[in-house]
Structure 1
Amino acid sequence: MARVLSALQYTEHPILSNTVFLAAWGGWPDAAESATRSLRELVRQISATQFATIDPEDFYDFAEQRPVISNESDGSRKLTWPKNEFYYWKADDGGRDLLIFIGVEPNLKWRTYTDLIHKVANESDTKLLVTVGALLDSVPHTRSPRVTGSSIDADLGVGFEHIKYAVPNYEGPSGLTSVLMDRLKQDKIPSASIWGHSPHYLQVAQNPTLTHAILSELQQFITAPIELSKLAKEAEEFDENLVRALADQQEIEGYVKRLEERYDSEEEFRQSPEPAALVQELEDFLRQQRGSEEDVADGDTND
């Protein structure tokens, strides 16, 4: 037990009050890195202070979640292990302080890992937990990014009475967001979950358009001032590059039009399907398109 507790390493012990706790994890719940990037952008803008980390040794299968090697500007080589970092920001006006956690979803010992996060949340006077995620979904990149919120708590606490998220109805394999919510629920701490929906057919490392949308949604939970104009410009350039990249891909263009019709009719505003189902849907559509083209070609030949 002592070894596990030593995995939680502090550089200081800030005194926080009336705290909103924001958390995001890289990996499965972070499509196009939109969730973790939104919190990293927040940390950068408000100059939040890192004060604690969780050592990765006990929580990862390093054959699955491998450390990353990179070249430094001075010619040296740097090995980076999976990071789990806590940051804080104190409100100047006696308002809500912020506790921010950015980590990587672990492979092992989820309950122990969650207990360590709970310990920091408890010490930080957490009044509300907001988890941030991003998932692959059958949404078109040509429409406004979809960001949805859910909560099992009808009352999110003082100051958040106006936020009325739907009660989640998902059933199935769970991510760490649900595990942490369940852990804090034992302390009667309310929680909400924000999810950005990323077009599943886009193979991009980052999606600034979705990151911008997630941060816009997060603004209602925080009093810290953030500026989104630079990110909005980056999102605009990203969208313009997408238009150029997909301009000559007629099959994808046809699939996107189908998604637009579904999106506009709100037919697809429901529980999102599994990634495998999304891939199958796209493959089926492309197969149908190729079949139609072959039929036309055969008809021309017969003529």
Structure 2
Amino acid sequence: MKGSVKILARPKLKDPYMLAAWPGIANVALIVGTFLAHKLNPKPLAEVIAPYFFDPIGVLVQNNLVESPQFPESRFFYWKNKPGKRDLILFIGDDQPQNKTYELAHSVIDVAERFGVKRLYTCAAALTRIHHSEQPKVWGAATQPALLEEIKQYDLVLGGDLQISGLNGLLLGVAKDRRLDAMCLLGEVPHYASRFPNPTAALAITEVLLKMLDVDVELDELKEQAVEASSRLKEMAAEAMGDYIDYFTEPIWESGGEYGDEEEDDEAGSQN
């Protein structure tokens, strides 16, 4: 962690859990992380030294003046729960670096160990054949067999063999190597909508996650986002289906023949 993370506060936390989130498929993890950060209003804890992991590819020019290079932010926050309950650390990364992802994962675990984190959570999308109008299920994966029993208590889907890409997955493997219990909650997302932000899947994950974290948060805002996103996806699907029909069908008057002639030929043929 030396040289890669700057500690901003040193609070005394009670057996905290940590949730880490980066952008990924359907932006599921980042939607969950930013929503909780918005609702809980946590305090700054630490920040990743961005130039250590990111290389800017250009600069912005405003009114002919060159601005300083901009870097993605990767920040830790802490939130104190009610007395007697576990506290929470949130890590939110605006972007995933092209290189040093393994080193960044270790830096996140360094912070977790420093503040006594007892369990780490990540989120991701589970690409399935679900239709966008269906209620997504939540899948679970864990670093220890004992955690799988807890997953079963929440009626999560155990998907067997799967791959969790990017840092939302890699962090779990690093946590396992460093003997920190970790779990991933994956919300079902349609294959054909993997590039579309999916707050519906994020909502399904958040509902389970809040129970696991023992945190009370109103979900109305996220529910509204889910309804709006579902409506937009429905409109997009209708437009795509219209384009599909237009492309693969041909009006009879464009087929090169006369409809009336074909009817007469058929009638003549039936009389023979």
**What TM-score do you get using the length of structure 1 for normalisation?**
0.69
Pairwise CA distance, 1:215: 1.2
Rg larger in 1 or in 2? 2
Q: Is the 8 A contact 2:121 2:182 kept in 1?
A: yes
For the aligned residues, what is the CA RMSD? 3.6
Structure 1: runs of 5 or more not aligned: 72-76, 255-285
Secondary structure at 1:132 match in 2: strand
Determine the C-alpha separation between the residues in 1 that align with 2:110 and 2:89: 12
Deviation, structure 1 residue 300? 6.8
What are the superposed Cα offsets for residues 65-93 of structure 1, whole Å, 9 maximum, x if unpaired?
A: x77x699xxxxx89642111111112222
**Contact 1:38–1:215, Cα closer than 8 Å, also in 2:** yes
Are the counterparts in 2 of residues 54 and 83 from structure 1 also a CA contact under 8 Å? yes
Match of 2:72 among 75, 79, 82: 82
Q: Which AA in structure 1 matches 2:174?
A: R
Aligned counterpart, 2:19 = 22
CA distance in 2, matches of 1:70, 1:98: 39
Paired residues of 1:152 and 1:167 also in contact (CA < 8 A): no
5 Å-filtered alignment, 1:49-128, equals: 49-63=43-57, 80-103=70-93, 104-128=95-119
Tell me the SS of whatever aligns to 2:225: helix
TM-aligned CA distance change 1:17 to 1:31, over 3 Å: same
Of residues 130, 143, 146, the one that matches 1:155 is 146
In the superposition, the TM-score normalised over structure 2's length comes to 0.76
What CA deviation, in whole Å up to 9, does each residue of 1:192-220 have, x standing for no partner?
11122333434866333222222112122
**Alignment match, 1:198:** 189
Aligned equivalents of 1:161 and 1:145: distance in 2? 17
Q: Distance in 1 between matches of 2:204 and 2:130?
A: 14
* Code of the aligned partner of 1:14: P
Matching of residues 204-223 of structure 1 within 5 Å: 206-223=197-214
2:171 maps to what in 1? 180
Q: How many correspondences in the alignment? A: 254
Distance 1:168 1:158 in 2: 14
Question: Deviations along 1:88-112, whole A, 9 cap, x unmatched?
Answer: 1122222111111111222112232
In structure 2, runs of 5+ residues without a counterpart are 263-272
Residue 169, structure 1, aligned to residue 161, structure 2: yes
1:253 and 1:140 mapped to 2: Cα distance?
18
1:85 alignment partner AA:
R
**CA contact 1:128–1:157 (8 Å) conserved in 2:** no
Partner Cα separation in structure 2 for residue 62 and residue 135 of structure 1: 31
CA contact (8 A) 2:15 2:116 kept: yes
The 3 A distance-change label for structure 1 pair 11 and 156 is same
